[in-house]
A and B are shown apart, each in its own frame.
Chain A
């Protein structure tokens, strides 16, 4: 993370068009990509749960989606700051990615509400897993829908001709993406560990109470 920060501010050249505000790009885009990866992981773990029936995938799927939602909120915040700096408005509907994250944020908020309204047990695990799978299907469909609904005026950095960045910029981008991914993974492991020990404690308590 420290290396990424240093690279962003000292190595990557200041963008000629957007100036210093372009620096937030190195956070915004990695956060967004990491969030997608988290949602994808959640869906994958959900699929594994339905496939194998192994209980441990439930917590893994839930934790991944939880991380994805956290990074999604951060994406919304950084995107909003970037919009303020670039277009002097906190929210612009013309920015597809931001709108997509708003939709996903709403969708996954409902995930938590649905999950916590169902009694813990195999049925909740399976419903959560199916929901996570729907999320993975919704991401591309929503993206297409938002694309269809408006003209595309967001500055496109990655084009078919490769990334439109200088080497230093691209390096800084990759390093910061790696840093964010690492952060996400560490948070995922910590939360998973905490949740697992919670569950074990619960089992122990029940065992003691039954004995």
Chain B
């Protein structure tokens, strides 16, 4: 394993181990996702149909991700670890990649709960919808880790993150809903992939500037 990949793996493993010991974020996200789906059952009028339910699924997924992202840099901030990480002899973008991978893992666990719950409560999910969810997750974690680090730099941390993140997530929601309800989802999945590639590269390249003092 090359040095860069080893750095990324070590950083991601640190977050996963922290979560395994503390068990804070993932249980919260899983319960939140189910609670939101239940709330949406009552919010949806009875004959509003499946399309509305798919829309709500995406709203739920984005807000669950937001819940996780809001916590993603909290351990670093509280323990003043970030200064140490910046000084560490590794490429700084590795910090972003490690954080994104860890967040992706958390989100994936929450969705292992969410998607069956959605299929049980509302409507069945097709394979293309699941591919859409996976592709959107990548984009959410890539962009989310970066803007979350940005928001951490300010005084009003938890306040600014949703404001910054939601406009950036609108293309993901469009692509996700399209892949869930369209008969031929190819173009939507392609769009999601494009978004992932573009914003991952952008985040990867610009993270260094966000993190250094």
Contact = CB atoms under 8 A, between A and B. Distances in A.
**Chain A complexes with chain B:** yes
Interface of A: 50, 103-104, 106-107, 109-110, 113-114, 117-119, 122-124, 126-127, 129-131, 133-134, 137-138, 141-142, 144-146, 148-149
A117 B198 CA distance: 27
Interface residues of B, number: 34
10 contacts: A107-B168, A110-B164, A114-B154, A126-B209, A134-B206, A137-B198, A137-B202, A138-B167, A141-B194, A142-B170
Interface stretch (B5-13, B65-73, B171-179): B171-179
A123 B154 CA distance: 10
By secondary structure, the A interface counts as helix
B74 interface: no
A45 to B, nearest CB: 14
A135 B178 CA distance: 23
Nearest to B213: A123
A116 B209 CA distance: 18
A129 B187 CA distance: 32
Contacts of B188: 148
Interface centre among B153, B198, B199 (most CB of A within 10 A): B153
B174 A149 contact: yes
A50 B209 contact: yes
B144 to A, nearest CB: 12
A147 B139 CA distance: 19
B164 A114 contact: yes
A138 B51 CA distance: 27
B156 A103 contact: no
